[in-house]
Amino acid sequence: MTTIGAVYSLEDPAPAPARPKWSVAEVMKLFELPFMDLVFRAQQVHREHFDPNAVQRSTLLSIKTGGCSEDCGYCSQSARYSTGLEREQLMAVAEVVEKAKAAKAKGASRFCMGAAWRGPKDKELQTVLAMVREVKALGMETCVTLGMLKDGQAQQLKDAGLDYYNHNLDTAPEFYGQVITTHTMQDRLDTLDKVRAAGINVCSGGIVGMGEGRRARAGLIAQLANMAQPPESVPINNLVAIPGTPLEDAGNLDPFEFVRTIAAARITMPTSFVRLSAGREQMSDEMQALCFMAGANSIFYGECLLTTPNPGADRDEVLFERLGLRAI
């Protein structure tokens, strides 16, 4: 219905209708659908927006490992936990470029660089900017995850050619304090606002299997879907429980519940890439196929995700061939 008193010229089309918001209760109803109905609905939505047999492949490299000041309960890189991980300095630009070349040769189209920081200092950022410029020059999409950004840093990354900034929300707002206490979800949202304002694509998702209930999983999906502009890329991680972290005994999430989370993300964020991220090493080929059926169309590709194992490229090539998938 047109608002009374509104005037639209022939040159200026009427504003697009507001995107509907998803309540947590509505997302819960998706989770509660019979499994086959949920996956069928997600596949229908997926086919409306994507080639169902095309999967984007990204490679993730830890460019600065360990020694992080934050207390994220799942993370091996926190200086607060004894996980046996050795602290390393920021990698040299030339070494990162060689890793990117190798990833491209194996079929990755996006190269993601992660550093274990609360946020980058200006001197450290200058080195990362050089990495972004060099990787971009290889013809790859670029992504970084550097923690929380200060004013002006996102614009510097944009000027260097950054395509995506990853900053996960991790979990629902009400569960967040049980996983992280050294910063808030609002701190993460503030960084994402800076990224958006600089014109960089947002990569943001979360981790499931941290002891949260289904309502918290629905809350995470609703939080992501209800952003003013949903993330272009939504990584869904299945917790890899690391000895020495507070979540080492979190237990395994039911595989069908993980697939339900993928399906809910696809339905609520129909134009976003939904990525199978951490935890694929523990997934069977059949479980991954169900995730692709439920709308996942991106994976991390390569033997390691920061500090956790990932299926080898050869295994992924065989799986793609078995399923008739092609890489983009």
Residue 280 annotated in active site: no
Residues 148/116/231/39 CA torsion (nearest 10 deg): -140
Amino acid at 107: G
Active site residue 196: no
Which residue is listed with tokens 């830890």?
62
Active-site residue among 57, 68, 110, 217? 68
- Is the distance from CB of 323 to CB of 316 less than 8 angstroms? no
Return phi, psi of residue 319, to 5°. Answer: -65, -45
Helix (H) / strand (E) containing 248? none
CB neighbour class for 163 (10 Å; exposed up to 12, middle 13-18, buried from 19): buried
- Our answer to whether residue 72 is catalytic in this structure is yes
Which residue of the set 203, 217, 266, 291 is catalytic? 203
Cα distances (angstroms) measured from residue 141 to each of 7, 229, 237: 42, 20, 21
Burial 79-91 (b: 16+ CB within 10 A, else e): ebbebebeeeebb
Token reading at 231: 């993330």
Active site residue 68: yes
What is the Cα 32 distance to its own chain's centre? 24
Cβ pair 101, 137 in contact under 8 A: no
In the structure encoding, which two tokens stand for residue 76, read together? 């091996």
Can you tell me the distance from the alpha carbon of 231 to that of 273, in angstroms, rounded to the nearest whole number? Answer: 8
Candidates 110, 260, 275, 280; catalytic one: 275
CA nearest 227: which of 267, 192, 183, 195? 192
Annotated catalytic residue within 143, 188, 280, 291: 143
Decide if 112 is catalytic.
yes
- The dihedrals phi and psi of 68, each to the nearest 5 degrees, come to -75, 140
Residues 172, 62 contacting (CB under 8 angstroms): no
Whether residue 207 contacts residue 171, with contact meaning beta carbons closer than 8 Å, is answered with yes
Catalytic positions are: 68, 72, 75, 112, 143, 203, 275
